[in-house]
Amino acid sequence: MTATLFNYTYSPTTGRSSSPAPLPLRRVVIVGGGTAGWMTALILARSLLDRGVEITLLESPSVPIIGVGEGSTPWLRGFFDGLGIEEAEWMPACHATYKCGITFDGWSTKPGFERYFHPFASMLDNLTMTQFVHNVEARINGANVHAHPDRFFIATRLAAARRAPKPRESFPFDVWHGYHFDAMLLGQFLHGKAVERGVRYKSCHVTHATLGADGAIASVGTQEGETITADLFVDCTGFAGLLIDKALKTPFVSFANNLFNDAAVAIPSPIDGPIPAETVSTAFKHGWAWKIPLTSRYGNGYVYSTQFCSPDAAETELRESLGFLESDVQARHLKMRIGRVTKHWNKNCLAVGLSQGFIEPLEATALLFIQQTAAVFVQFVEKGDFGEDAHDRFNRQVNDHFEGTRDYIVTHYKTNTREDTEYWRANAANLNLSDGLKKLYSLWMAGKSIAPGVRQQAIGKGYPVFSWYSIMAGMGIFPDPQDLRPPTPREARYSMDEIDNLLERSSVNYPDHREALHSIAPRRTDAALQLYFWM
Ligand SMILES: Cc1cc2nc3c(=O)[nH]c(=O)nc-3n(C[C@H](O)[C@H](O)[C@H](O)COP(=O)(O)OP(=O)(O)OC[C@H]3O[C@@H](n4cnc5c(N)ncnc54)[C@H](O)[C@@H]3O)c2cc1C
C-alpha cells in the first residue's frame, strides 16, 4: 500500500486557455439564473467572451431559484481561483465559512462507531494515510488495532477544535477545504460578477422551445413575446428541465431504487459562540438532517423519503430537534428528483445543474457537478470538438461521475445498522447495487485491499480511495469485537500516540475559525434570517 492514497494538492488554476481554436459558436443562451446558470455563465465567459462569443442569460421573473445548497466540496476553491475572485471578496458577501468535512452522527449503531468524520484530505494527510489504511486492513482481518478514521486526519482535528483550515503564514502546508455559504447571496454575487465581465442578462419567462428540422433547438420563445435564437442553449432551469427534458425529451435515469430520499424541509436557526468548520449530518427517523454554519445563521434541513414519512411529520421532527416546536420560524418544503439525464449534452443543448440531474445533498456534490460539467464542456469547445463522438465521450464522462458519486452516497445507507424504523431497515436490505459496489463490498468482507478496484472502476470517478476507506471504517464495517484477536507485531507497528502527537503539533498552526473569519466576515445583520425567505 502506498502512502500517496490521496494525491491531490491544491494549486490555483492558471487561467484561460490561449489556444486560438476556431469556434463554431457565436451566440450562447443560458436559460436559468440559479447557481448553475451563473456558475456556467462565468466559466463559459472566461473562455469564450474574448473570442467574440456572445453569452446571454435569461431568467424568469416569476420562477424563484431553489435557494438551498449551502455546502461545497474543496473543488469550489478552484472555481473562484480560476476566475481570479478572492475569498476576501466573495466569502463576506455570501456569509461564508470554511468547511473541513462532514460529521456523520447516528448512522451506525456499532459501539465506538456511532459517529465519524469524512475529512477533506490533503497532501499533509499522507503522513498518516499509510497508517490508517494499514490499521483498517489489519482490523478487517481480525486484528484488534485502532481503525476509526477520526484519529488519523488533520482536517478532523481542525474541525473538532473549531479551527479554520487556513494555516498561519509560517506553516507551509495547505489543507484542502470546502465552504459553507448562503445560496441566495452566492447567486446574487455570481450574477454581479458575470454581468461585470460581459455576460448579458435578460429578465424574461421562457414559454417554449422551437426545434429545427435536425431536432436541435432553433429558438426559445418568451412570455414577453420575443423569439431568441442561439447556436448553443444551456438549460439551467433547475428541476423544470425546460429544454433538455420538456423540449428535447432526453431520457432520464431515476436513482429512486438506489436512493430513497425525495424531499426536504429546511429551517434556519441563529448562530452564536464558536463557529464550527464542518457540516453535521445526523441520522433522523426517515432520513438525515444537515446543520450548516454560516457567519449569520445555521442552515438546517431534513432530507427524507415520502415513501416513509409525510412532510408534516418531517417538519415536526426537524422542529423538535431544533427546539422550534412552538416557534413561528417558517419552514420551506422542497421536492427532489434523484437521477440524471442520459445525455447532458444533447444536440445543441447543454444541461447544467438540477436540470441535468441531482444526487441527494448528503455529500454536497451538486455544485461540483455544475463546475465540472461546464469546465469539461469548455475543453471540448476549445478543441473545436463538436461531433457525435465528442457528445458520446462527454456524456460518458459526466455519467461516470454521477454513477460513482451515487454509489458512494448509497454506501452510507447500505452500511447503516439502525433498526428503529422501516426506512433504515429497507435501506440496509436494499439490493439495488451496482456491480462495482457489490465487488467493492465483497473485497472488503474478504479482508482484501479495495484500492486497486476503486482506481480501476467507474466507482473511483466519484470519490478517491481514502474516502472509501473512511466510510467503511467510519461505519464500523469490521468483525464483531468478540471476534477480534491481538494484533501481530507487524499489524501493531504504528503507535497511535505518535499519530496523535503529530496531528496535535500540526493543528496548532491553524487559527480559531471565528477569528480567521473575523478579518473577512461582515457583522451579522438582523436581516440575515429574513433574507433566507426572500424568494
Ligand atoms: C434540499 C437540497 C439541499 C441541497 N444542498 C446542496 C448542498 O449542500 N451543496 C450543493 O452543492 N448543492 C446542494 N443542493 C443542490 C443545489 O441547490 C443546486 O444544485 C443549485 O442551487 C443549482 O440549482 P439550479 O441553478 O440548477 O436550479 P434553480 O436554483 O432552481 O434555478 C433555476 C433557474 O431557472 C429559472 N427558470 C425556470 N424556469 C424558467 C423559465 N420558464 N424561463 C426562464 N427561466 C426559468 C429560474 O428563474 C431560476 O433562475 C441542494 C438541493 C436541495 C434540493
DSSP letter for each residue of 187-246: HHHHHHHHHHTT-EEEE--EEEEEE-TTSSEEEEEETTS-EEE-SEEEE--GGG-IIIII
Q: Phi then psi for 94, rounded to 5 degrees?
A: -115, 15
**What stretch of H or E contains 103?**
strand 101-105
The CA distance from 319 to 317, in Å, is 6
Contact 294, 229 (CB under 8 A): no
pLDDT of residue 19: 52
Question: Which residue among 237, 265, 352, 402 is best mutated to probe the pocket of ligand 1, counting the most ligand atoms within 8 A of its Cβ?
Answer: 237
Q: How far is the CA of 330 from the centre of ligand 1 (A)?
A: 20
Active-site residue set:
99
Nearest ligand 1 atom to alpha carbon 37: 25
Q: How far is the CA of 354 from the centre of ligand 1 (A)?
A: 6
Nearest ligand 1 atom to alpha carbon 38: 25
> Which residues, other chains included, contact 527 with Cβ-Cβ below 8 Å and sequence gap of 6+?
none
Mean pLDDT lowest among 122-131, 202-211, 248-257, 308-317:
122-131
Residue 3 scores a pLDDT above 90:
no
Nearest CA to ligand 1 atom 13: 69
Unique residue bearing C-alpha cell 448562503: 182
pLDDT of residue 84: 96
Residue 22: pLDDT band with limits 50, 70, 90: low
Mean pLDDT of the chain: 92
For the full predicted model, state whether its pTM sits above 0.85.
yes
Q: What are the cell numbers at 303?
A: 432530507
Contact 287, 321 (CB under 8 A): no
Q: In what order do the strands lie in the sheet with 217-222?
A: 206-211, 217-222, 227-229
Q: What are the cell numbers at 53?
A: 462569443
pLDDT of residue 16: 53
The CA distance from 476 to 490, in Å, is 22
SS3 54: strand
Span 379-389, pLDDT tens digits: 999 888 889 99
Unique residue bearing C-alpha cell 479482508: 447
Nearest CA to ligand 1 atom 53: 336
Residue 29 scores a pLDDT above 60:
yes
Contact 30, 53 (CB under 8 A): no
Residue 20: pLDDT band with limits 50, 70, 90: low
Question: Which residue among 29, 38, 65 is best mutated to probe the pocket of ligand 1, counting the most ligand atoms within 8 A of its Cβ?
Answer: 65
Ligand 1 near 234 CB (within 6 A): no
pLDDT of residue 458: 67
pLDDT of residue 124: 84
- Bridge partners for 111 per DSSP: none
Nearest ligand 1 atom to alpha carbon 68: 17
How many residues in the chain?
535
Nearest ligand 1 atom to alpha carbon 183: 21
Nearest CA to ligand 1 atom 33: 32
Nearest ligand 1 atom to alpha carbon 59: 44
Question: Which residue among 39, 68, 191 is best mutated to probe the pocket of ligand 1, counting the most ligand atoms within 8 A of its Cβ?
Answer: 68
The CA distance from 104 to 290, in Å, is 10
The CA distance from 23 to 388, in Å, is 17
Give the closest residue to 255 by CA, choosing from 469, 462, 470: 462
Ligand 1 near 205 CB (within 6 A): yes
Ligand 1 near 206 CB (within 6 A): yes
Ligand 1 near 209 CB (within 6 A): no
Nearest CA to ligand 1 atom 35: 32
Span 321-330, pLDDT tens digits: 999 999 999 9
Average of per-residue pLDDT across 369-393: 94
Question: Which residue among 29, 35, 204, 338 is best mutated to probe the pocket of ligand 1, counting the most ligand atoms within 8 A of its Cβ?
Answer: 35
Q: What are the cell numbers at 370?
A: 455544475
Ligand 1 near 354 CB (within 6 A): yes
- Give the chain's count of helices (H) and strands (E): 16, 21
CA atoms within 13 A on the CB side of 260: 24
pLDDT of residue 519: 75
The CA distance from 414 to 425, in Å, is 9
Q: How far is the CA of 469 from the centre of ligand 1 (A)?
A: 32
Contact 77, 10 (CB under 8 A): yes
Residue 354: pLDDT band with limits 50, 70, 90: very high
Average of per-residue pLDDT across 164-171: 84
Distances (CA, A) of 24 to 45, 51, 215, 381, 431: 15, 11, 18, 8, 46
Ligand 1 near 359 CB (within 6 A): no
From first CA to last CA, the distance across the chain in angstroms is 51
Exposure pattern of 372-390 as b/e (b: 16+ CB <10 Å)? bbbbbbbebbbeeebeeee
Residue 14 scores a pLDDT above 50:
no
Q: What percent of the chain has pLDDT over 90?
A: 83
Span 50-71, pLDDT tens digits: 999 999 999 999 999 999 989 9
The CA distance from 311 to 321, in Å, is 15
Span 169-225, pLDDT tens digits: 777 777 889 999 999 999 999 999 999 999 999 999 999 999 999 999 999 999 999
pLDDT of residue 174: 76
- Of residues 343 and 387, more confidence is placed in 343
Q: How far is the CA of 62 from the centre of ligand 1 (A)?
A: 14
pLDDT of residue 521: 53
Ligand 1 near 102 CB (within 6 A): no
SS3 content of the chain, % helix, strand, coil (to 5): 40, 20, 40
Residue 24 scores a pLDDT above 60:
yes
Residue 107 scores a pLDDT above 80:
yes
Cβ neighbours, 10 Å, residue 406: 25
The CA distance from 362 to 331, in Å, is 20
> Which residues, other chains included, contact 225 with Cβ-Cβ below 8 Å and sequence gap of 6+?
none
Mean pLDDT lowest among 48-57, 139-148, 449-458:
449-458
The CA distance from 92 to 517, in Å, is 8
Residue 252: pLDDT band with limits 50, 70, 90: very high
The CA distance from 357 to 235, in Å, is 12
Residue 244 scores a pLDDT above 50:
yes
Exposure pattern of 59-79 as b/e (b: 16+ CB <10 Å)? bbeebebbbbbbbbbbbbbbb
